[in-house]
Structure 1
Amino acid sequence: MKRNIVIASVTAAALLTGGTAVAVAGTGANGAQTSSTEATTHATDASGATHASFSDAARAALKAVPGTLDSLDRDHGARTTWDAEILGKDGKWHEVTLDASTGKVLNQHIDRDTDAEDAAEAKALRNADVSATEAARKAASRGTVTSVEFDGDRTQVWEVETVKNHKERDLNVNAQSGKVTQAPSDDGDDD
């Protein structure tokens, strides 16, 4: 019964946000019934075209370069893409560009212009208890995730941008606790 409530709840939430829901039920190793539910929302533009979700893009980027996702950002240039930075299992920084409508890798290369700051970022990223995809999942209730970036300075947080009803919202997700807070305004007003 609980499984059906969870599946129905996630399906309703995904449909309300214009997305799709996928639910899988089965039996676990000890024979108990288990369920796994994943909501994947797809952004649509003014023409109604569907785009790969944050989770689709994250999976594709990490499939291309196994490692730890440092940032994933939706770029609205001449061609809409997802731009990912990954700390590869090889210890090198990789940049991956994905087509936003299909999630296919368009380009990938190793960032050879690294410095001591990048080494500090890598160490902080390895120590984070919350991953980029977990941070995005926590922030998704507040809108469609368009960007997640790790900030290893001082308090380690994931900086998450969401869009809901054509309004952008900047959130911080603590890299240790997963607590979501409104990001401080960077407009320079002290009011």
Structure 2
Amino acid sequence: MKRNIVIASVAAAALLTGGTAVAVAGTQSSSTGAPTTHAADAAGTTAGESFSDAAHASGTTARASFSDAAHAALKAVPGTLDSLDLDHGARTTWDAEILGKDGKWHEVTLDASNAKVLNQHIDRDTDAEDAAEAKALRNADVSATEAARKAASSGTVTSVEFDGDRTPVWEVETVKNHKERDLNVNAQSGKVTQAPSDDDGDDD
């Protein structure tokens, strides 16, 4: 199922100082089914989009990119990244959820200014849906960081979250020229498509 992580809004544009992001830690399943980490290059911004643009849109001084936060989160808890979202609360943070190599769900909070780990703990409130999510996540051919790289041409990545309920996809939010765009990246093929509009659903 989709994990209960706060999804970043348009204000989550404050990510990068411009240019391409550094190499990030991604994940894939080993032959035994246990998640392992690997490195992948991910573009975290697009040409013409600067940190000043992002800062203006969000009103924050967040400087740690998706790439920075993913690398730091997976260094703190080796495993498979399930979601990573920029959260604007009392303190702007990156909130990560990771399926650890120990088979447990871990939540990691990182400072959005420097990707420093502020807090991490094991989520013990899990159920059968979480087990199904873990299985689908382990079987995904495309990692969170790879999904971010594929979607980066559409703007600055502010959120990536795995959805294994039906056809497994990565739900990616990007911001470009102060406009938010929601994309789906197929977790098997890596194909990027426009996410269905919320207006297509019911009023509730």
TM-score by length of 1: 0.73
CA distance in 1, matches of 2:9, 2:18: 14
**Aligned CA distance change for structure 1 residues 102 and 89 (closer, same or farther; 3 Å):** same
DSSP-derived class of the 1:163 partner: strand
Greater Rg by CA: 1
Question: Which aligned segments of 4 or more residues in structure 1 are displaced greater than 3 angstroms?
Answer: 1-17, 20-27, 33-53, 186-191
Number of aligned residue pairs: give it: 186
Of 86, 94, 106, the residue aligned with 2:118 is 106
CA distance in 2, matches of 1:151, 1:190: 22
**Alpha-carbon deviation of 1:188?**
3.6
Query: Does the 8 A contact of 1:23 with 1:37 survive in 2?
Result: no
Aligned identity (percent) is: 94
Stretch deviating more after TM superposition (4-13 or 122-131): 4-13
Query: Does the 8 A contact of 1:173 with 1:180 survive in 2?
Result: yes
**Aligned CA distance change for structure 1 residues 12 and 23 (closer, same or farther; 3 Å):** farther
Deviations 1:92-132 (A, max 9, x none): 00000000010000000000000000000000000000000
Deviations 1:156-177 (A, max 9, x none): 0000000011111000000000
Query: Does the 8 A contact of 2:44 with 2:156 survive in 1?
Result: no
Tell me the residue number matched to 1:30: none
CA distance in 1, matches of 2:203, 2:71: 40
**Aligned CA distance change for structure 1 residues 102 and 36 (closer, same or farther; 3 Å):** farther
Query: Does the 8 A contact of 2:142 with 2:187 survive in 1?
Result: yes
Asked if 1:189 is matched to 2:202, the reply is yes
Deviations 1:51-73 (A, max 9, x none): 99901100000000000000000
Query: Does the 8 A contact of 2:23 with 2:42 survive in 1?
Result: no
**Aligned CA distance change for structure 1 residues 86 and 161 (closer, same or farther; 3 Å):** same
Query: Does the 8 A contact of 2:109 with 2:118 survive in 1?
Result: yes
Unaligned runs of 5+ in 1: 28-32
Asked if 1:37 is matched to 2:32, the reply is yes
Query: Does the 8 A contact of 1:14 with 1:20 survive in 2?
Result: no
Query: Does the 8 A contact of 1:171 with 1:182 survive in 2?
Result: yes
Query: Does the 8 A contact of 1:11 with 1:21 survive in 2?
Result: no
CA distance in 2, matches of 1:180, 1:52: 25
Query: Does the 8 A contact of 2:22 with 2:68 survive in 1?
Result: no
CA distance in 1, matches of 2:73, 2:166: 28
Structure with greater strand percent: 1
**Aligned CA distance change for structure 1 residues 41 and 12 (closer, same or farther; 3 Å):** farther
**Aligned CA distance change for structure 1 residues 179 and 79 (closer, same or farther; 3 Å):** same
TM-score by length of 2: 0.68
**Aligned CA distance change for structure 1 residues 145 and 86 (closer, same or farther; 3 Å):** same
**Alpha-carbon deviation of 1:18?**
2.5
**Alpha-carbon deviation of 1:78?**
1.2
**Alpha-carbon deviation of 1:4?**
44
